A and B are shown apart, each in its own frame.
Chain A
């Protein structure tokens, strides 16, 4: 705060300074921002897809682009060759046993990188994909679980709405059973009553038959008794 006061005082003293951009602590010339607080840890800025372009695995493209206006396409190569020849001829770089060892080591390294580089890179990419796929699978599994739970809940709710069918069916069943029992008992009553009535009818029929038979036999007896002997012989003579 005191620095701000000082800056304000400086601005009051020298009007030229007032035209400078607002000088907050941490800002110098308004183009270089120094760290004024701890950096935001989230969200992280996204990583670029590819790194900077490189030529011959060592030298960035910007170098070639930097030299192109003055020296054209062959400029950096001429510079490199001249530099190497200068170092060698002036024996600033001495060719010792280490040089041969260096050439062999670096040659082996370049060979291995050229040969196995892409496969190792694809392996690393596969590892990343696996990790991503694991997390994705977790997410999908949890989503699926939740959607399944929602489906189940909906089905249960629909079932609850149709619950009265269950009770109706049970009610109907019970009513039918009761009806069946009732009919059974009715039938039983009917048969019992019919039995008793049949008994009476049978008894009456029997009585009537008995009376008829008795009457018939009585009449027969009397007729037989009344048929005298002379009528019997008369009958036989006629015949």
Chain B
């Protein structure tokens, strides 16, 4: 039972060769570029969605921030599709692996910090002290702000990992409970309802992308504009 519970989170291998690169590249196949002027329905919807998200996210940045548009759009699309594909049965979600999320979070966060320190060092350092703090609290607050700054990448990575992993685990547990209860009770019907609800809630995994990219965006915004 214990081994079965975490079996979905083992990186699948084919004869000892990890298939993780293939799994990570697979979502690219979903996003096709139209070769004609009038694309088909799916491409039309994808183009419309990507334009909508880009417009929403990039309006609050200045020119330097907008050079990150491609990076951020790639990020949100990758995480969204990976999470949604992970909801399908018998699939593997790369974003459940902490290693992958940390390797996404740390470079991006560090890039924003370094950008801020390079372009506007005074403003970046000024972020450690919010406005209007009493004088006695300043040393404390600077230490706290430094700690919070260094926690940011860890928080980003662990947030994503924990959410997706917890969701998958819950689905697994509740469906195994439903399976076990079939021979005992028709409480199964209410349990399958709960599984259904959990799934719709888990589709808020897509909202996790929002959380991920938004926190990243907010940090970029703060480092560039304020």
Contacts and interface: CB of A to CB of B under 8 A. Distances in A.
A189 to B, nearest CB: 86
B64 interface: no
Contact of B195 (A101, A123, A132): A101
Nearest to B193: A104
B86 to A, nearest CB: 11
B44 to A, nearest CB: 5
Contacts of B195: 100-101, 104
Interface residues on A, range: 20 to 34
B36 A104 contact: no
B41 A98 contact: no
Contacts of A132: 38
A108 interface: yes
A121 B88 contact: no
Interface residues of B, number: 27
Given A104-B196, A105-B199, A132-B38, A97 B44 contact: no
A120 interface: yes
Contact of A104 (B41, B90, B173, B175): B175
Given A100-B192, A100-B195, A124-B45, A105 B178 contact: no
A145 B38 CA distance: 26
Contact of A98 (B35, B44, B175): B175
B172 interface: yes
Interface string A91-112: 0000111111110111110000
B87 interface: yes
A128 B44 contact: yes
Nearest to B48: A127
Contacts of A47: 36, 40
B172 A98 contact: yes
A136 to B, nearest CB: 12
A123 B45 CA distance: 8
Nearest to A129: B38
A96 B44 contact: no
Given A98-B172, A105-B199, 4 more contacts: A101-B171, A108-B199, A123-B45, A127-B44
Ranked nearest first, the 6 interchain pairs of A and B with the lowest CB-CB distance are: A102-B89, A97-B176, A100-B175, A124-B41, A101-B175, A97-B175
